[in-house]
A and B are shown apart, each in its own frame.
Chain A
Amino acid sequence: MPKNAFTNDKITPTHPVMARCVVFHLLLTKKRSTRKNKSDQASGQKSSDVACRGSAQSADTHNTLIGLCYKMSDNEHPATDMQENIKGQIPKESPPPSQDVQSDSSADVAPTRKTRKRPENKPPPEVQESPGTASVAENASKASTQTTVTQGGWGSWGSWGKSLLSTATATVTTVGQGLSQVIEKAETSLGIPSPTELSGQMEKEDDAEGTIPSPSSSSEGKPAEGDGNVLGSAMGMLSSLSSVVQSTSKTVISGGLDALEFIGKKTMDVIAEGDPGFKKTKGLMNRTSTLSQVLREAKEREEQQTAKDVTSETEKKAHYGMLFDEFQGLSHLEALEILSRESEAKVKSVLTTLSGEELTTLRDDLEQIKESFSLMEFDDEEVDDPQVDDGESFVKELTDALKKLHISTTAERLGKARKNAFDRIMDMKIPSEAKQQQEDGSEHEATVTRCTVEDVHFSAITSLAELTARSIEQFHKVAEMLLHTSTDGVTALEQAKVLAQITVVLCKEISVLSKKFTACLATVGSNEKGEVLNPLITGVFLEASNSASYIQDAFQLLMPVLEVSHIESTADSSH
């Protein structure tokens, strides 16, 4: 789809991709002010209600589609347009003024900042949701979805459909805050902390808001103590999420495929929103500001937990964070962040040295590159491939794409990770089939040869962690090569598009894997009770959505790198 399709308000939602994308958005767009509706959220009934609408497309979504699409590509002034599109559906409410997530210290990088700007949303203090009716809108984009998302809970999952990576991370350097916000939002929408706790938090957040350190200063790393249980336990929180989600997991299973999207979209949307909770969370947590740091803390927490648990159980739990670190995902992410930060600074300083036409030209160029990072489609159509393959087409697709970058890098390690996942799936399939054949054999043998659901779960989490770590490694290597080799015959803009494409391929593969593993789980655990099986399945979906988020965040980190690469190549050619 041409990118301007997003800005064309004549476009009809009958375009299959668009329609799909919008339906998801409508379904999934989050209404954050669901704190009061904890019971609603926990209700499986409500969730299934929403989940079942996966294919429903009502006429009045069409209007909102336009508004949404509009919004996708135009963060600057969509609100009023949106309001028009959704007239008659929602009470109007003018969006609060935009606020930059980062300190907007340099006017020279305004374009960068602008794309990151998002409407500041003040959560209304009192929002009552009554089923079937739209409630007070938080902001235009959210408001527009109210009619379809009438209940809280699952309706609050975010959206990739918003154009997969739309503006994925609210800011490049503050990815971590995005994550913490995910956590906060996840908490609030799923009602993990008690309402009283939350209100306490909100107060604190409000207090903290005035004294938020600028990201640059906090990225120097002066994370405070305290409140560690909120953010520090990122993964812990997510795992407790799964127990809440559990109550809805019947829907998860039957919804199968959709569940991942719900979860993933939620994460994405939440990261993408960059709303006040972002700042609030940051003020509240007053901690780290990079994704790798947040992940690292989460991992450390897991490690401590594991160490504590070591005595008690046989310890079959799979810890995504720890596994991700073991595959060196954290290190690559951290290194990529360093490169990204340095590149960003370099771009800034170059911009300050230019003026006049040169400056305008460069800004236009950079703007174009940026657009490639915000306009993406995730066509989920072909993901429903039940076939278990060893990832050959995945590797081929990646290899072809990587070639277009004109740098020496291969998909070898990613291919290996994919192959490992495949092997794990095969390992699980064979014994369960073998078990069927020897049904009459001794019971003892059967139990020995058979996989437990925990085994499958562990394989799933391991595979997701490995593939994600390799994806981030790939992006890190790409960044290094971009910065340190001259890339002839291809522009930074073209490279940006290829990288966006690679991101889609990677996320798709994560999705495919999670489906295969959950299918395995369902097969292996067909005799298990729901309370055993369901959390495992939800866990896989959750980590899959996290995986996709990390990959997309890593992709966003490449933007300043490509900008530097562009600046350098144009400087070379002019000399």
Chain B
Amino acid sequence: MEAIWLYQFRLIVIGDSTVGKSCLIRRFTEGRFAQVSDPTVGVDFFSRLVEIEPGKRIKLQIWDTAGQERFRSITRAYYRNSVGGLLLFDITNRRSFQNVHEWLEEARSHVQPHSIVFLLVGHKCDLEPQRQVSQQEAEKLAAAYGMRYVETSARDAINVERAFTELTRDIFELVKRGDITIQEGWEGVKSGFVPNVVHSSEEVTKSDRRCLC
């Protein structure tokens, strides 16, 4: 059982369609890269534990939203209960970068009264030759909005862990400092349970418990 975690953070992943949101999440949660991926319908869900310090695990509940415009009204409803999010654009697609601003605006207006911590992700960084958005430019934009910037590739598994872990650490710090508090009726941050004895490895309990006959 993956019962032992300190907090659960709900993250939302947004960005234009086809920038690779689902692929990034799948790489992170399932450790694999799907060459072909159907467009997300509405929203899908993933979760994974992240160990931010030895013995301190955070459970990430990731809401993978559809980038397609037609689902926009659905995804709006999901911001409110998220504590953080990854905002993706495709470095080979300038348009997706230009839309970052719009995504942020939308998120900010729907997350009230809570705040949400975003991390800007330039995705598909393995496709360097087709790059249309420079790293500098993206970093500048991120800084303007007070976000971190990370370039990732789901295909080559570059910085995928880092993107999620850094966001998780940032949120964790805010929670520790009391800037973000657990609130009843808000799903963004949930408190877990600290066990008396921390198992050497979660895999011990997590192991496949189907009949091992």
Contacts and interface: CB of A to CB of B under 8 A. Distances in A.
A455 B199 CA distance: 22
Given A307-B195, A311-B197, A424 B71 contact: no
Nearest to B186: A221
A308 B210 contact: no
A300 B184 CA distance: 14
Interface stretch (B39-47, B140-148, B166-174): B39-47
Interface in B183-200: 184-187, 190, 192-197, 199
B74 A480 contact: yes
B1 interface: yes
Given A326-B2, A484-B70, A335 B196 contact: no
Contacts of B212: 455
A315 B42 contact: no
Interface stretch (A166-174, A236-244, A456-464): A456-464
A484 B71 contact: yes
Contacts of A476: 42
B145 to A, nearest CB: 27
Given A331-B63, A449-B213, A459-B210, A306 B1 contact: yes
A455 B186 CA distance: 36
Contacts of A308: 193, 195-196
B3 A310 contact: yes
B140 to A, nearest CB: 35
Interface string A503-528: 00000000000000000000000000
A416 to B, nearest CB: 15
Interface residues of A, number: 50
Contact of A338 (B4, B77, B190): B77
Contact of B74 (A316, A449, A451, A483): A483
B61 interface: yes
A266 interface: no
Contact of B45 (A311, A328, A430): A328
Contacts of B77: 338-339, 342
A451 B213 contact: yes
A304 interface: yes
B213 A427 contact: yes
B1 A315 contact: yes
Interface in A317-371: 319, 322, 326, 328, 331-332, 334-335, 338-339, 342
A484 B74 contact: yes
A481 B185 contact: no
Contacts of A334: 187
A431 B41 contact: no
Interface SS, B side: loop
Contact of B41 (A222, A288, A481): A481
Most chain B Cβ neighbours within 10 Å, of A221, A302, A458: A221
A458 B70 CA distance: 41
B205 interface: yes
Contact of B209 (A222, A311, A322, A458): A458
Interface residues of B, number: 36
Contacts of B73: 483-484
Contact of B211 (A303, A338, A427): A427
A515 B192 CA distance: 35
A220 interface: yes
B78 interface: yes
A122 interface: no
A221 B41 contact: no
A512 to B, nearest CB: 19
A328 B30 CA distance: 14
Interface in A426-480: 427-428, 430-432, 449-451, 455-456, 458-459, 462, 476-477, 479-480
A306 B192 CA distance: 12
Contact of B3 (A303, A451, A481): A303
Contacts of B78: 335, 338
Contact of B1 (A303, A451, A484): A303
Interface in A113-152: none
Interface in A48-83: none
Given A322-B3, A335-B78, A431 B190 contact: no
Contacts of B194: 307
B196 A311 contact: yes
A335 B42 CA distance: 9
A481 B78 CA distance: 17
B13 to A, nearest CB: 14
B45 A332 contact: yes
Smallest CB-CB A-B distances: 5 pairs: A221-B185, A480-B42, A431-B213, A331-B45, A328-B45
Interface of B: 1-4, 41-43, 45-47, 61, 63, 70-71, 73-74, 77-78, 184-187, 190, 192-197, 199, 205, 209-213
Given A304-B193, A307-B3, 17 more contacts: A303-B193, A306-B1, A307-B4, A310-B196, A310-B197, A326-B2, A326-B47, A328-B46, A328-B47, A331-B63, A338-B78, A430-B213, A455-B213, A456-B211, A459-B210, A483-B73, A484-B74
8 contacts: A221-B184, A307-B4, A307-B193, A310-B199, A339-B77, A424-B211, A458-B211, A484-B70
